[in-house]
Chain A
């Protein structure tokens, strides 16, 4: 019978059980790596490095997980913070690179081979809208949970999701008419 996250977390905390932690990693690796791949704009190597850092940080700070939120929500928060710290270090936070920002705003500049690809359209969104869409629409988090992960007000999350959705629809419509 598969164990729930709470049972596995308890085993890690009480017995420092590496097998239980491995089970947690196995259960959540796909979602965490998927989120980071989208946030890093498909830089798979960087995303996997950040995912490793996420799980190691989760292990180190397991005692601070109080079970108020879902374990996956807590992991997403750590993953997002790892990504932000790395982006800050690399000075690659969206909004700093003007040429990248211009490309984001103009879906016409996209390679024709990538048009009609929803995931590519998603990568054209600015970080704050992309992360809100990824968490709420793709990973199924509530607006409230996403606000906790991103550490921003609930209203901002709702706005970002709304704007992101609008831009996605527009981008896909523009590509459709090409």
Chain B
């Protein structure tokens, strides 16, 4: 009982003796060191979509109405299934490895 009382007393004293530290310009100093703010997310998304559409239109006209795409699709259809599967699996593995290494690097930063 006495032991429990002492523990409670100790915890209470520890909490009470933790003074509130006034900011005194600390937050301003941190914010000043932040990298410059990027454009808002929605603004960035609009720019990206706009540029993608513009690039698609230019590519369409420069490639004779996207004829190269039809040719490539025919060529792909003529390839053996084994080769297409092999390329797809390799691509997936490379993308997974790149994603995993990026995630690991991110975790290491916070450790």
Residues of A within 8 A of B (CB): 14-18, 21-22, 25-26, 29-30, 33-34, 37, 48, 51-52, 55-57, 59-61, 63-64, 77-78, 81, 118-119, 122, 133, 137-140, 165, 168-169
Contact = CB atoms under 8 A, between A and B. Distances in A.
A26 B26 CA distance: 8
B64 interface: no
B29 interface: yes
Question: Chain A interface secondary structure, helix, strand, loop or mixed?
Answer: helix
A48 B28 CA distance: 13
B110 interface: yes
A52 B15 contact: no
Question: Chain B interface secondary structure, helix, strand, loop or mixed?
Answer: helix
A21 to B, nearest CB: 7
Contact of A169 (B6, B14, B23, B41): B6
A61 B30 CA distance: 15
A42 B69 CA distance: 68
9 contacts: A14-B41, A21-B34, A37-B21, A52-B29, A56-B34, A59-B34, A64-B109, A118-B14, A138-B14
B63 interface: no
A34 B26 CA distance: 13
B13 interface: yes
A135 to B, nearest CB: 11
B37 A63 contact: no
B10 A18 contact: no
A81 B111 contact: yes
Given A59-B34, A165-B10, A138 B18 contact: yes
